[in-house]
Amino acid sequence: MKKLSVILCLLWMGFIFYNSSRPATISDKQSYGIINSIRSGKSVLEGKTNTAKVKSTVLPEGIRNQKIDVIIRKNAHAFEYCMLAVFVANLLFLFGVKGKNALIYIMFICLFYAVTDEFHQSFVLGRGSLVSDVLIDFMGSLIGLGIFYLAYYKIYTKHITKRRTAAQGFMK
């Protein structure tokens, strides 16, 4: 289980690095593809088949797409680091690092990786390095850390309660 956790963590770090190394034009195409998929799905759910109705909005299409693109990109960054925090937390817990030390290590690893990721992006064609992206990445990792701890302690307390109940039944 430990080997699998290490491999999963390293693969996810590689996935983040790969996404950061993609030029802006390729990344834009991917984001706009997601926007078009969402728009198509929304129109199907609303029962709109007329393309004129689908495209009619308050904002001009270009501005709206840019705003949606920014939202998709920032959420993707946060999600990447949310998952990284979950994988790193799982890895450390499997190796017996728990409590305050685990929190510090997880936050440091995620923040360090976010900073190095932004540094790496500064060398990629059409991409830049922003402190705000580091903060978004770090916030995503804090959310992932919260999710991991909630899930872990929910399972842990359930397991401990079962053990105590079984032990009390055994002692009677």
Lowest mean pLDDT among 65-79, 81-95, 99-113: 65-79
How many other β-carbons are positioned within 10 Å of the β-carbon of residue 138?
Answer: 19
CA angle 120, 81, 111 (to 5 degrees): 60
Closest among 167, 155, 159, 113 to 138, alpha carbons compared: 113
pLDDT grade, residue 170 (50/70/90)?
A: low
Dig out the tokens for 158 from the structure.
Answer: 């359930």
Q: What is the spatial distance between Cα 160 and Cα 96, in angstroms, rounded to a whole number?
A: 18
pTM for this structure? 0.75
Report the percent of the chain where pLDDT is more than 90: 47
What pLDDT, in 10s, does the model give residues 122-134? 998 888 888 999 9
Closest among 110, 119, 104 to 87, alpha carbons compared: 110
Are the CB atoms for 127 and 35 separated by under 8 Å?
Answer: no
Q: Kindly report the average pLDDT of the chain as a whole number.
A: 83
Closest among 66, 83, 71, 90 to 155, alpha carbons compared: 90
**pLDDT value at position 129?**
87
Are the CB atoms for 90 and 2 separated by under 8 Å?
Answer: no
Q: What is the spatial distance between Cα 90 and Cα 96, in angstroms, rounded to a whole number?
A: 10
Lowest mean pLDDT among 1-10, 63-72, 93-102: 63-72
